[in-house]
Amino acid sequence: MNYTDKKVKAGKKYTYEIAPYTEVKGKKVLGVKSYKIRVKATKRNAKKINPARVVIPDFYYEDNYYVGLYESIKLHAKARVNKGLKKKKVYNSNLVWSSSDESLATVDQKGVVTANDNRKTGIVYITARAVNGVKKVIKVDVMNYYNPVKFKNYKVVPEELAPLFGKYKNEMCDIATYFAFDNKISNVKIDLEEDGLSVKTQPEIELNEKIEKSLYTVMNDLCLHFEIKDGYLKVTYNDYFSDGSIFKYNIICCIDKASEEKFKYQIGYAKLCERWYYSEERKYNTE
């Protein structure tokens, strides 16, 4: 749709709203009005003109944008003139940010996108709109990092732990999600009781019945140990040697976003997918 207003005067600003209409008994009935479009009538030699496009600066550009549940990311966009007009600037660089689905994620007027706390995941489209209506739409994937669609690189994991990504994937993801969102615990160790019939925690904490059942099922079948410490969930299989040393195979899930920085660039940690890592360590008998 195009509209030309021939009555404008150079240097003045104008505000427009667009609304569909239908005729009822010969009278126009307006529908819902659009957002307001503000433009400035400028001369050809004006140094500041209306924005012609909204772009993501190269420094901030990414092929894909992701945000985890309960988390935020900062998007960047700029209102610009056309590429050939290097000597001109926009008269108003302000942007209005909006979200296509606020049940997934909201965005503030600084471009900070925050995923909601309702555990809903999916695609949301964030729009950065200049005052005169030109816009940039950015696709953001709201993800639950503790329950990935699939683990891409788990083939590095030994066979003792491989069932965690196959047979027991749902249990593992439920456990990680539970400690990330529902039960924020700083330090606790989880093992089986000596009789092998139930789960024990140190220090003693109350667990959700479903999670306790998942923990018991996994530990009883695979002889694993669980630990929550410093913002990550650590699942360990111990291999004992005749000299008394122990070889530890570890699956680590960063249930706290900040804790991932501890493993991201360390040698010896294989990244299985976002927030999930595999590591090995050997503890020698010093006696």
Q: What is the pLDDT of residue 62?
A: 81
Choosing among 3.40.30.10, 3.90.79.10, 2.60.40.1080, 3.50.50.60, the CATH entry for 43-143 is: 2.60.40.1080
Q: What is the pLDDT of residue 277?
A: 93
Domain residue limits, the chain? 43-143, 154-283
For residues 89 and 22, give the distance between their C-alpha atoms in angstroms, rounded to a whole number: 40
- Do the Cβ atoms of 146 and 253 come closer than 8 Å? yes
User: What is the signed CA dihedral for 171, 182, 226, 281, rounded to 10 degrees?
Assistant: 100
For residues 140 and 39, give the distance between their C-alpha atoms in angstroms, rounded to a whole number: 29
Per-residue pLDDT of the chain (287 residues; tens, 9 = 90+): 666 777 777 778 877 777 787 888 888 887 777 777 777 777 777 888 888 899 998 888 887 899 999 899 999 999 988 877 777 888 888 999 999 999 999 999 999 999 998 889 999 999 999 988 899 999 999 999 999 888 887 888 988 899 999 999 999 999 999 998 877 667 899 999 988 889 999 998 888 899 999 999 999 999 999 999 888 999 999 988 877 788 999 999 998 888 888 887 787 888 998 899 999 888 776 65
> pLDDT tens digits, residue range 201-234?
999 888 889 999 999 999 999 999 999 988 899 9
User: Nearest CA to 226 among 277, 263, 261, 191?
Assistant: 191
13 token code pair: 């600003």
Residue type, 128: A
Q: What is the pLDDT of residue 287?
A: 59
Q: What is the pLDDT of residue 226?
A: 94
